[in-house]
Amino acid sequence: MTKRNNLLIFILTIGVFGILNTEMGVIGLLPSISEHFNVSISTAGLAVSLFAIAIAVAGPTLPLLFSGIDRKKIMLLVLGVFTLGNIASVFISNFTILLIVRIILGLFHPIYCSMAFTVAASSVKPEEAPKAVSKVFIGVSAGMIAGVPIASFIDSAFSYEMAMAFFAIVTAIMLIAALIFVPSMPVKERLSYGTQLTVLKKPILWISIVTVVLLNASVFGVYSYIAEYLETVTQMSSNIISLTLFVFGGANIIGNIVAGRILTNSPIKSILTFPLLLSVVYILLFFTGEFAVPMVIITFLWGILAGGIMANINQYLISSSAPEAPDFANGLFISACNVGTTIGAAVGGLFISQMGAQYVVLVGILSLILGLVTILLRTYMLTPTKQLSKKVS
């Protein structure tokens, strides 16, 4: 059973990598998309932004609609859609059609990711769930970090079409693997849509959603402009910036491994400590931003906290607030993350335009302060329940 579960989690992880690779890898192809379709670079950026908007819209709804279907059928459906969409993207010559395909893929994105988190958590003992979910998050980190440079390399070494074909190959391989190795996984306890929607009445779920939005904004409000920060403040060369970003990506994977352990052993302490530790990293980043070597070290620490541990904490916050509706909760998690990313990037851009690149770090610190407030409120809301349960037992 253990080997079978490990294989299942591995397939889920690589599948998530393929889906995130499709989403984020296009960032490295924007110049080629602009040239290929004869549109401006800002217009080409719609291939990224419309995908993200589709995820935010579909996050709370489609995972709910698909929550009663056999998990294997969901895997095959979504991986099949992504494979066909990526193959079509190789041959599409009209930019509007490309955007339509990207929107469709964005709508299916949260169905698979939500299901992957749910299946990973349910495949092990409840106390081991954070470790299983953290393994799936390795695929998320790898897709977000490795997708851009891999796609960019294939594009420059071969062609735009080959880069798009790479996305299709990854999802096609996982489609075949799921078809062969994943057993049928019917939903044992099918919950009605109404039952799942009742979790929206829980105040702790809403405070968890707000917390996730703030924590994600604290990271992506800064990370969205890290290349500009390293260029203008640290004055790094383009090669050193690329190396530093790879350091951040590698640290993400380490953070996922660490997160699984700390959330299993001491979740409340880990959640409370996180905003404080990340605030210290941002303060160091602000005062040592002009020095290259300290920046690489700080970026490594930042990657562990921001890329790996934060993602797992965010998923834990929402899923533990609505354990009776895991698919719906994971969909809400995905949407909250996208909302936080959008808000953080917008506010970060505003700070840069008004104050300069160095002060974008303040967006992260302010978001973390607000996030700590909501975390303390959430912890307070949980305390009476714990005390009552102790009295009853």
* Four-residue CA torsion sign, 183, 258, 335, 219: negative
- Contacts of residue 273, defined as CB under 8 A and 6 or more positions apart, other chains included, come to none
Q: What proportion of the chain, given as a percentage, has pLDDT over 90? A: 31
Q: What is the mean pLDDT of residues 69-83?
A: 92
So what's the pLDDT on residue 191? Answer: 65
Q: How far apart, in Å, do the first and last CA atoms of the chain sit?
A: 33
Query: Residue 393's pLDDT is what?
Result: 40
1-190 and 191-393 share one fold: yes
What distances in angstroms separate CA 314 from CA 2, 131, 208, 367, one per listed residue? 27, 14, 8, 14
In this predicted structure, what is the pLDDT of residue 365? 95
- Per-residue tokens: 310: 């934060």
- This prediction has a pTM of 0.78
Share in percent of the chain as helix, strand, coil (round to 5): 85, 0, 15
Q: Give helix 2-24 / helix 160-181 axis angle, nearest 10°.
A: 160
Query: What's the mean pLDDT when you consider all of the chain?
Result: 85
CATH of span 1-190: 1.20.1250.20
Alpha carbon distance 144, 246 (integer Å): 11
Question: Among 2.40.33.20, 1.20.1250.20, 3.50.50.60, 1.10.10.10, what is the CATH number of 191-393?
Answer: 1.20.1250.20
Return the pLDDT at 392: 40
Task: Pick the more confident residue, 173 or 324.
Answer: 173
Spatial CA neighbour of 108 closest among 176, 15, 28, 6: 15
For 289-346, how does the pLDDT look when each residue is reduced to its tens digit (9 = 90+)? 889 899 999 999 998 898 778 988 998 999 889 888 888 888 888 889 888 888 888 8
Residue 107's pLDDT is what? 93
| Res 124: pLDDT | 79
pLDDT in tens, 188-224: 766 666 777 888 899 999 999 999 999 999 988 888 7
Ordered by start, the domain boundaries in the chain are 1-190, 191-393
How many residues are there in the chain? 393
Alpha-carbon gap, residue 327 to 113, rounded angstroms: 10
More confident residue, 341 or 167: 167
